[in-house]
Amino acid sequence: MTSWERSYARSAPWFLLPAAVLLGVFVVVPTLHALYLSFHQIDLLSLDRQRWSGVSQYAAVLSDPRFRRAFANTALFALLVVPTQTVVSFALALWVNRPEAPWRALRTVFFAPTVVAMPVLAILWTLLYQPASGSDAGPINRVLLGLGLPAHAWLRDPRTSLLAVAAMSVWQGVGLQMMIFLAGLKAVPPAQLEAAKLDGASAWQRTWHITIPALRNTFVFVLSVTSIFAFRLFVQPYLMTRGGPGNSSVSLVEAIYEMTFVAQDLGMACAASMLLLVTLCVLTALQRLALAEVRE
């Protein structure tokens, strides 16, 4: 270590202090507190009375029908959204990966929904999905009727409510994944693509054998980030369906929110939050594994 580096090391605490204090108070302490509360009985109105309850709250959460349905719904939502969003965004990226102005404009169009706030879009799509009644109809049903198809109450039918939320979420999110793929596409060696072309490989073969393998890490990144986002689902069901009809579109985070503010059972809410955290950890670990494999 040279002398200037040694003298600089002395100022390190001052550089770190603000972030350390804020992260400590608002992230580390609450996380540990949640872990503690998940093993203790407590309620919102009398925070002082707490007693050890072992894993009973985890058991209560895991046997709660609304929570179980919420977990299944959220997993299903992820299964619907993650593959669709990945494939569509990759296709869009290949489509607009051309330098001329019209393609750049098209990129902007696909990216536009991602910058509009989610509550705005959730409310907008509730109106778009509005069922037909009398001479009124939401614009989506208006299009269906115009094509001679039957109108449908998308958000009010338990068979389609989650699907409708998923469709809207894909529409909202693909633009961002497309941008990530576009950045990745820059790193695909053009010489290799050119050589394959000269050898008579079709566009499809070039994509399958050169582009996709070259983008392996980008795919892993997009898949894992998208699935983590999927498990954080809250705004769409909260505003569009209130989790309904029945339990048909309730999400994990929404169930936790209800445990906190409707049932006012903090311990149970914390136990549920820890289960969500474990799920996110598993997803992240899978991502690390997939990336590590590549590096070897």
Partner 1 sequence: MKRALQWVASAVVAAVFLAPLLWLLAASLVPTDQVFRGGWARLFFDGGWTLTNYASAWRRAALARSLAVSIFQATVIGGLGLVVNSLAAYAFARLRFRGREALFAVVVALLILPIEVLVVPLLLTVRGLGLTGGATALAGLTLPFVAKAFNVYFLRQHFLSVPRELEEAGALDGASSWRQFWDIALPSVRPALVTVLVLDLLMHWGDFLWPLVISTRAETRTVQLGLASLFTEPPIDWGAIMACAVVTTLPVIGLFRVLERFVVATDPRAGLR
Write out the binding residues for partner 1, residues 198-217 only, by CB under 8 A: 217
Tokens linked to 202: 């079709």
User: Is position 294 an interface residue for partner 1 (rule: CB under 8 A)?
Assistant: no
User: Is position 47 an interface residue for partner 1 (rule: CB under 8 A)?
Assistant: yes
Whether 128 contacts 140, CB under 8 Å: yes
16: left (phi over 0), alpha (psi -120 to 50) or beta: alpha
Q: What is the DSSP code (8-state) at residue 241? A: T
Nearer to partner 1, 26 or 208 (CB): 26
What are the φ/ψ torsions at residue 32 (nearest 5 degrees)?
A: -65, -40
Distance CA 203, CA 110 (A): 23
Number of residues this chain uses to bind partner 1 (CB under 8 A): 92
Binders in 226-285 for partner 1, by CB under 8 A: 228, 232, 234-235, 238-239, 253, 256-257, 260-261, 266, 269-270, 273-274, 276-277, 280-281, 284
Strands 40-43 and 46-52: antiparallel
- Selected from 26, 189, 205, 213, the binder of partner 1 by CB under 8 A is 26
Residues in Cβ contact with 232 at an 8 Å cutoff, skipping those fewer than 6 apart: 253
Distance CA 97, CA 109 (A): 14
Contact region with partner 1 (CB under 8 A), list: 50-58, 78-86, 123-131, 202-210: 123-131
Minimum distance from residue 57 beta carbon to partner 1 (Å)? 12
User: Is position 48 an interface residue for partner 1 (rule: CB under 8 A)?
Assistant: no
Binders in 59-98 for partner 1, by CB under 8 A: 92, 95
Prior bond of 131 cis (ω within 30°): no
Nearer to partner 1, 127 or 195 (CB): 127
Nearer to partner 1, 120 or 195 (CB): 120
C-alpha torsion angle, residues 2, 19, 278, 62 (rounded to 10): 160
User: Is position 124 an interface residue for partner 1 (rule: CB under 8 A)?
Assistant: yes
Minimum distance from residue 145 beta carbon to partner 1 (Å)? 9
- Selected from 49, 54, 55, 108, the binder of partner 1 by CB under 8 A is 108
User: Is position 55 an interface residue for partner 1 (rule: CB under 8 A)?
Assistant: no
Minimum distance from residue 27 beta carbon to partner 1 (Å)? 6
3 state DSSP class of 195:
helix
Determine the straight-line distance between the first and last CA of the chain, rounded to whole angstroms: 32
Minimum distance from residue 163 beta carbon to partner 1 (Å)? 17
What would the x/- binding string for partner 1 be over residues 165 to 194, using CB under 8 A? ------x---x---xx-xxx----------
Minimum distance from residue 115 beta carbon to partner 1 (Å)? 5
- Selected from 60, 144, 212, 291, the binder of partner 1 by CB under 8 A is 291
Q: Which residue in the block uniquely carries the two structure tokens 């050169």?
A: 210
User: Is position 123 an interface residue for partner 1 (rule: CB under 8 A)?
Assistant: yes
Kindly state the helix (H) or strand (E) to which residue 51 belongs, with its residue range.
Answer: strand 46-52
Minimum distance from residue 273 beta carbon to partner 1 (Å)? 5
CA geometry: angle at 225 spanning 221 and 231, to 5°?
A: 150
**Helices 101-115 and 161-185: angle between axes, nearest 10 degrees:** 140
